[in-house]
Structure 1
Amino acid sequence: MKRFFSLSSAATLLAIGLTAAPGAFAASPQIIKIGFAAPLTGPSAADGKEMENATRLAIDDANRRAPKLNGQPVKFEIDAQDDQSDPRIATQIAQRFVDTGVAGVVGHFNTSCSIAASKTYSNASLAEISPSSTGASYTQQGYPTTFRVVGQDAIAGETLGRYLLDSLGAKRIAIIDDRTDFGQGLADRVEATLLKNHGKIVAREYVTNKTIDFSAVLTKIRGTNPDVIVFGGFDAQAAQLVRRMRSLGLKATLVGEGFNNNIFVDLARGDGEGTITIQPGLPADKLPASDFASRYEARFKTRLQGFQAPYAYDAATVLLNAVLTAGSAEPAKVLAAVKASRLKGVTGPLAFDAHGDLANSPYTVYRLKGSHWDGIKILNAAQ
């Protein structure tokens, strides 16, 4: 049925609006942008998308509490950008964030991208909080704007090296890295820890993060008869590496950091059984906020595949809380509030040391059994 609205009715409503008491109409909230940068296309797109979703979830939660700055309503929004795991593009995105006036940045995913963008953020006093960049050099540049909510590789490498000797009982260890800031940083620290503790390193080899065929390097290593091969690199390459190991008859255990998601499982296609990975933080079922996965899945109608999402949520939470604590979206004031953060996150306590590293970061060791990663040991690097 059609409804008719007369001109006289409209005039009456207009008159009511003009004579309404001050404050009868709520002021539009100020929009505050939070930058987000990660690979949303390419081999690491699944990780990047989960991190983006988690950042959105944190923003949803903050907006649900009707936030205000100086008594005025505000609304947080995400400015999500795809850095394609490319440091050059990451630098361009960093400048975009500076130019458009975001309050802070959640990102980047790759250590190389976080490092490439960090000078731009530092020049603008813009806080950069990475949920996943574990390369030690990221926070060792001397910039006051670099932070992360996960452990870093100087600690991870030492922790992994001790685990290989003390728990796994490794006797003959080969090491391969992909020459990235992450991969080489992890491998170098594992090597240093093994040498310090009299571990036997039978080979030290290198590939690139573009290597597809690992035949040559593995054929060379096979002659050293290793019982463990440590790989400093990302999960997609690790999966191809372990498949080639099996086809060449290498029975060694593959060990690394950050393999425990379905990308590795799918690409390894059954050849990765027994692979061991160390991961910053606690297993999902041991997180302080045990309902995070179920809330994520209810919001986005998909299951979590990787480990980064709760860390992205926490990185966003630190920024959102810093804006409200500072009473301002001005980057320099937000940065000061980030430095002073003392929060209980979904992953655990959130506080930073003088370098911007997480003050306390446990690690979990996982072993692949079939298509499932079993958390087999929790190691607290702070002890």
Structure 2
Amino acid sequence: MSNKIKVVVLPALFSACLLAAPFALAKEVVKIAFVGPLTGGTSPIGLGGRNSSDLAIKQHNAKADSPYEYELVSLDDECKPNVGVQIATKIASDKEIIGGITHYCSAVAMSAVDVYHKFSLPVVVWGAVLPDITYANDFKEVHRVNGTMINQNQEAAKFMVDHGYKTFAVIHDTTDYGKGHNQYFSQALEKAGGKIVGTFGVTADQQDFTAELTQIKQLKPQVIYFGGLTPIGIRIRSQMEKLGIDAQLEGTSGIKSDSYIEGVGAPIAEGSLSFIEGAPWEKLAAGPAFFAAYGEQKYAQPAEAYGPFAYVATNLLMDAIDKVGPNRRKVRDELNHTKDASTMIGPVTFDDHRQNIVPLITSYVVQDGKWVPWQDSEYASGKRTLKDL
């Protein structure tokens, strides 16, 4: 009699056991890059943008029907063109990175677009406003969800002239960003009927503006227009106060930052003006939900003025990848055909140069330590007044 034990495998029973204990298949990981100023004077805007992009990815990854798991690669361009080129080359040459959410600083974006085109990396600009970023070339890889400085400056000039201001001194930084603001504001102001009594170019790292402001004080303009970013804006407004210059300050989207108010101090910042693309986030249907979700993540920094744009740019990129797969050229082509995409900033449509058509500019004023949409402010109602004419 044999001692051997015969083992019989029952395929059907084995299969049934596997079905009874299913396991989840891991999704393919797709990398996308976020690039912005994460250190330096403009870092509050960059960090708010990065956090907003991170929020979009977390929400997207939580969707059961998302075919991919997205991973954010965050890099610091320091708001410096030479660093921007290095970062752009790094992400564009990494084949695992399928697309990018790129740049707040216009000079950096301009230096990087050639790199994205060369490596066929589709990117969506989330903050830089120089028109040439999309319009100077026909790079099908470069898209932008926010508007341009042309729109901002048309409204900035019209707003001030409509409120009775006639004479202006212009201070702008000498980067492409600042020179662009000077160009478009000057053109718009001439059409609106205002007069520029003096124009002053300053370097992006300049600390002391005594010479320029002393000359401006002698010219006695009703308005000082500033075309530049928050760090310089803080210095200029603070030094205006020290020199007793009582002109009205208006800036562009470059000073629309909580850090401007913190740096200057709420009493001195009071009444400063800024102009930015799009409707106030508070009035958009999806705005409250975005800020509520952002708050739940307990990020160390606020979303700032351009966080919603970074959020929208990230979602557009992920939606394109979901649809056509992680292929750079296919994603680029899918983004190029974006029309009336439903987003928290409203419908997004890219024109023939992949520039979002943004018809609305919102005017903001600092009131009690916060940026308030002009139409909701006590300045608009007449309870408070801007600088005397």
TM norm. shorter chain > 0.5 = yes
Aligned CA RMSD, in angstroms, stands at: 2.1
What is the distance in 2 between the residues matched to 1:98 and 1:136? 23
User: Which residue is 2:150 aligned to?
Assistant: 154
Counterpart contact for 2:169–2:198, Cα < 8 Å: yes
Show the 5 A alignment for 1:198-277. Answer: 198-258=193-253, 259-269=255-265, 270-277=267-274
Letter of the 2:90 partner, please give it. Answer: R
Counterpart contact for 2:36–2:75, Cα < 8 Å: yes
Letter of the 1:184 partner, please give it. Answer: K
Letter of the 2:156 partner, please give it. Answer: L
**CA deviation after TM superposition for structure 1 residue 21, in Å:** 5.9
**CA deviation after TM superposition for structure 1 residue 24, in Å:** 4.2
What is the distance in 1 between the residues matched to 2:189 and 2:93? 46
Q: Does 1:109 align with 2:104?
A: yes
Gaps of 5+ in 2: 1-13, 377-389
What is the distance in 2 between the residues matched to 1:349 and 1:214? 42
Show the 5 A alignment for 1:97-176. Answer: 97-101=91-95, 102-142=97-137, 143-166=139-162, 168-176=163-171
What is the distance in 2 between the residues matched to 1:113 and 1:18? 59
Letter of the 2:79 partner, please give it. Answer: S
TM-score norm. by structure 2 comes to 0.87
Q: Does 1:185 align with 2:187?
A: no
Cα-to-partner distance string for 1:104-154 (whole Å, 9 max, x where unaligned): 110111111111111111112221211110111111221222211111012
User: Which residue is 1:62 aligned to?
Assistant: 60
User: Which residue is 1:80 aligned to?
Assistant: 74
User: Which residue is 2:297 aligned to?
Assistant: 299
What is the distance in 2 between the residues matched to 1:53 and 1:44? 15
**CA deviation after TM superposition for structure 1 residue 235, in Å:** 1.3
What is the distance in 1 between the residues matched to 2:189 and 2:203? 23
The number of residue pairs the alignment matches comes to: 358
1:90 to 79, 84, 92: 84
**CA deviation after TM superposition for structure 1 residue 67, in Å:** 4.3
The percent of aligned pairs where both chains have the same amino acid is 27
Show the 5 A alignment for 1:320-331. Answer: 320-326=318-324, 328-331=325-328
What is the distance in 1 between the residues matched to 2:15 and 2:307? 46
Change in Cα spacing, 1:253 to 1:331, as seen in structure 2 (3 Å) is same
**CA deviation after TM superposition for structure 1 residue 78, in Å:** 0.5
Cα-to-partner distance string for 1:338-378 (whole Å, 9 max, x where unaligned): 11123111111111111121112411111112312221149
Counterpart contact for 1:238–1:264, Cα < 8 Å: yes
What is the distance in 2 between the residues matched to 1:277 and 1:100? 38
What is the distance in 2 between the residues matched to 1:120 and 1:66? 35
Letter of the 2:182 partner, please give it. Answer: A
Letter of the 2:226 partner, please give it. Answer: F
Letter of the 2:268 partner, please give it. Answer: D
